[in-house]
Amino acid sequence: MRPVLLLCCLGLVSASALSQAGATRPPVVAEKIFAAATDAPEGQRLLGGDGPYRANNDLLHYSLDVRVDPVERSIRGTNAIRFRMLADGSRIQLELVPELSIDGVRMGRRALTFEREGATFFVDTPKRMKRGKVYKMTVAYHGMPKEVGRFGGFVFSKDPVGRPWIVTSCEDEGARVWWPNKDQWRDEPQEGIDLHIAVPDGLTAVSNGRLRGSRDLHDGYTRWDWKVTYPINNYDIALNIGTYSHFGDHLGKLSLDYYVLPEDLEKAKVQFAQAKPMLQVYQKYFGEYPFIRDGYKVVQVPYAGMEHQTAVAYGNGFHNSYLHNNHDDWTGVGISPRFDFILIHESGHEWFGNSVTAADPADMWIHEGFTTYMEAVYVEAMYGHADEVKYVNSFKTMVYNKRAILQPRGINQAPDRDQYFKGALLLNTLRNAVNDDAKWFATLHGFAETYKYKTILTEEVIGYFNEHLGGDYTPVFNAYLKYVHIPVLELSFNDGAGTVEYRWKTPEADFNLPVRAGDAAHWTVLHPTTTAWQTTSGTRESFKVDTESAYIGVDEDPDRSSLERPGYTLSCMTSSMGRMDRYRMPQSGRRRQVEEALGTTSWRPIRRARRMRLFEMGCWRLRLGGSTLPEATVWRGSTRLRGW
């Protein structure tokens, strides 16, 4: 969503190397790369950075005990935090929003002092804690959680028939909005979490992991006990409290559990039949379901959905496609209506996001780009390669290309939505560049298995793919992750000689993506560079570029040609395929040439302004400027199609 990061793939240190030294957290490698991050406000850097009072300890386990009151709309509880010191020290950093009160912090029977600073609080011990030793602090708190963010953070609501329905979803805002924790992506509790959730009798509390049982507290409340035995990101830890009905199934040794409102039980049994074949596809291509001890679970919620670990939040109305997009075919190519987008996408996050986790929100494309690409893998496995090509290419219409995907680390800032679709298109482009599906899918499978239960950075993704694909794909990753605009293949035709010159246009100087071009029936693989023009045979009519296998633009007769001769240039691009065509227009007769190029003469003037005319022809718009403007520009609908 914001400024550009410089990738550095030299001297990578993996999370696995750290684990051999007794720590499971990835190294801090960002400080020199992200100088801009130091300009962020102090609160942002406290939440996003790995300051000394975070870096001096390694999370081991949480034990969260909460009581939720839907009448008072309040929460009260404790969190016992067990951690190992990585360096001697007498202070650690934790998080809880200031709207919630801290009643005290204890280590055993000893009360500890603490200091609050915004959403952060620092806990001090009277004696220095020793490197390598394990400690436990218990934080008591209470308050009325405030609804924030896209899905509310912590929401007290009612189900359609008026019963209490209380849910959490806090990926963007952080788990600190409802419970005290070390709210940092790079450090997960390696031994998981125990959850004890007390709710009014008659309600069910569904959370992560496996249900250990429920207990009547004889005060109008029942406590539900859940246990997670794997590492888990803080934002994945969720409460789902309501009048739930349950049904279950198995896929081999994997338990499948579903919690839905009673009125939706029969619909859910039909819709969730998609889960088994989906899980079979994902296990084939990305390895065994990562949390088999804790099981797979889907829980109905009043918002669209979220990838809560082993408790996938589902709110797609038991419909295929994407209900919250208000469209039966949200990708527009006839494939989305065949499956439930929320079920398939959010479940994919069990592999990427929950098992393989970004160490910083700035690298969140590791979650969303890979999981969006998993949808395409699912489509190919279920419906064939031709439909996969259509489905993955539909993502092109959903890329904004307004900001680079990779952003400064250490300031608690995630990319914008391009991390989903542009990230997936990067992976599809790599697959076709490798042109060896056995190697490609073995690399995907190995990547998911190698970094299972680890937090990683983009550098480690690139390093792994370079090693296992057998080439240096760093410039390809850089071109799509570091910069706003996608690479453009420039073509310059010499119609008299029957030749075409070509080269890449991208800020990534070493961009080395091979591209298929020429005769569409018998593609030739070209190896353009960003420097010298190369030449091959071809005419404007016969020379094509395979833009289905790569997310690139194509610019025919770029500026160097149009600038050689006076006149106007019409630029038009078919946005779904990323193709740009340019037509030279002499100042005299320019409208006629535009009409010939686009195959119509039915222009409707829209408005006139000084030295400019705007015409509309069907879905095309043409702006013709005065003599001082070098180009005329075409719109498709309201979208300006010239430029990148």
pLDDT (tens digit per residue) in 470-523:
999 999 999 999 999 999 999 999 989 999 999 999 999 999 999 999 999 999
Q: 268 or 327: whose pLDDT is higher?
A: 268
343-376 pLDDT, tens digit per residue, is 999 999 999 999 999 999 999 999 999 999 999 9
Res. 6: pLDDT tops 90: no
Has residue 333 been placed in a domain?
no
Q: Do 511 and 493 lie in a common domain?
A: yes
Judge if 589 and 643 occupy the same domain: yes
The label of the residue with tokens 């900001």 reads 403
616, 614, 586: which is closest to 603 by C-alpha? 616
**Residue 574 sits in the same domain as residue 633:** yes
* Dist CA 164 CA 154 (whole Å): 13
Domain containing 524 equals 487-556
| pLDDT at residue 329 is higher than 70 | yes
Last residue of a domain, one of 528, 556, 584: 556
Domain boundary among 504, 523, 556: 556
Among residues 76, 69, 119, the alpha carbon closest in space to that of 96 is found at: 119
Q: Quickly state the pLDDT bin for 39 (edges 50, 70, 90).
A: low
Structure letter (DSSP) for residue 147: P
Kindly tell me if the per-residue pLDDT of 12 is higher than 70: no
pLDDT at 324: 78
Residues 493 and 570 in one domain: no
- pLDDT for 559: 60
Global confidence as pTM: 0.83
Look at residue 617 and tell me whether its pLDDT is greater than 60: no
Q: Are residues 546 and 581 in the same domain?
A: no
Q: Looking at the predicted structure, is the pLDDT value of residue 132 above 80?
A: yes
Same domain, 623 and 579: yes
CA distance 270 to 273: 6
Residue 626 within any structural domain of the chain? yes
Q: Is there a domain that residue 541 lies in?
A: yes
On whether both 572 and 636 belong to a single domain, the answer is yes
Q: Who has greater pLDDT, 602 or 98?
A: 98
Q: Give the per-residue pLDDT at 632.
A: 40
Average pLDDT over residues 408-435: 96
Q: Is residue 510 part of a domain?
A: yes
Percent of the chain with pLDDT over 70: 80
Specify whether 606 is located in the same domain as 637: yes
Task: Give the helix, strand, coil percentages of the chain, each rounded to 5.
Answer: 25, 35, 40
Question: Quick check: 37 pLDDT over 70?
Answer: no
Q: Of residues 513 and 25, which shows the higher confidence score?
A: 513
Q: 396 pLDDT exceeds 50?
A: yes
User: Would you tell me how many other CB atoms lie within 10 Å of the CB of residue 323?
Assistant: 19
Over residues 459-471, the mean pLDDT reads: 97
More confident position, 158 or 37 = 158
Cα separation of 372 and 386, whole Å?
Answer: 18
| 148 vs 281, higher pLDDT | 281
Mean pLDDT of the 123-133 span: 98
Do the domain assignments include residue 62? no
Above 60 in pLDDT, residue 97?
yes
The C-alpha atoms of residue 238 and residue 153 are separated, in whole angstroms, by 10
Q: What confidence category does residue 94 fall into, taking pLDDT thresholds of 50, 70 and 90?
A: very high
Enter the tokens of residue 285: 């291509």
What is the average pLDDT across 81-87? Answer: 98
Residue 308 domain-assigned?
no
Q: Is residue 42 part of a domain?
A: no
Both 522 and 564 in a single domain? no
Residue 630 has pLDDT above 50, yes or no: no
Pick from 134-148, 191-205, 294-308, 586-600: least confident: 586-600
Mean pLDDT of the chain: 85
pLDDT score of 612? 35
Do 571 and 638 fall into the same domain?
yes
> Taking the C-alpha atoms of 532, 538, 542 and 547 in order, what is their torsion angle to the nearest 10 degrees?
-20
Instruction: Give residue-wise pLDDT tens across range 404-416.
Output: 999 999 999 999 9
Q: Please provide residue 7's backbone torsions phi and psi, each rounded to the nearest 5 degrees.
A: -80, 140
C-alpha closest to that of 410 among 121, 66, 43, 8: 43
Report pLDDT digits (tens) over 168-219. Answer: 999 999 999 999 999 999 999 999 999 999 999 999 999 999 999 999 999 9
Residue 7: what pLDDT? Answer: 33
Please say which residue of 505, 535, 556 terminates a domain. Answer: 556
Q: How many domains does the chain have?
A: 2
CATH number of the structural domain spanning residue 541: 2.60.40.1910
In a domain? residue 169: no
Q: Look at residue 326 in the predicted model and tell me its pLDDT.
A: 66
Per-residue confidence (pLDDT) for residue 618, from 0 to 100: 37
Per-residue pLDDT band for 149 (boundaries 50, 70, 90) equals confident
Query: Do 534 and 562 lie in a common domain?
Result: no
Same domain, 552 and 564: no
Residue 42 confidence (pLDDT): 82
Q: Indicate if the pLDDT at residue 611 is higher than 50.
A: no
Span 546-564, pLDDT tens digits? 999 999 999 997 764 332 3
Coil vs helix vs strand at 519: strand
Q: Residue 565 CB: number of other CB atoms within 10 A?
A: 9
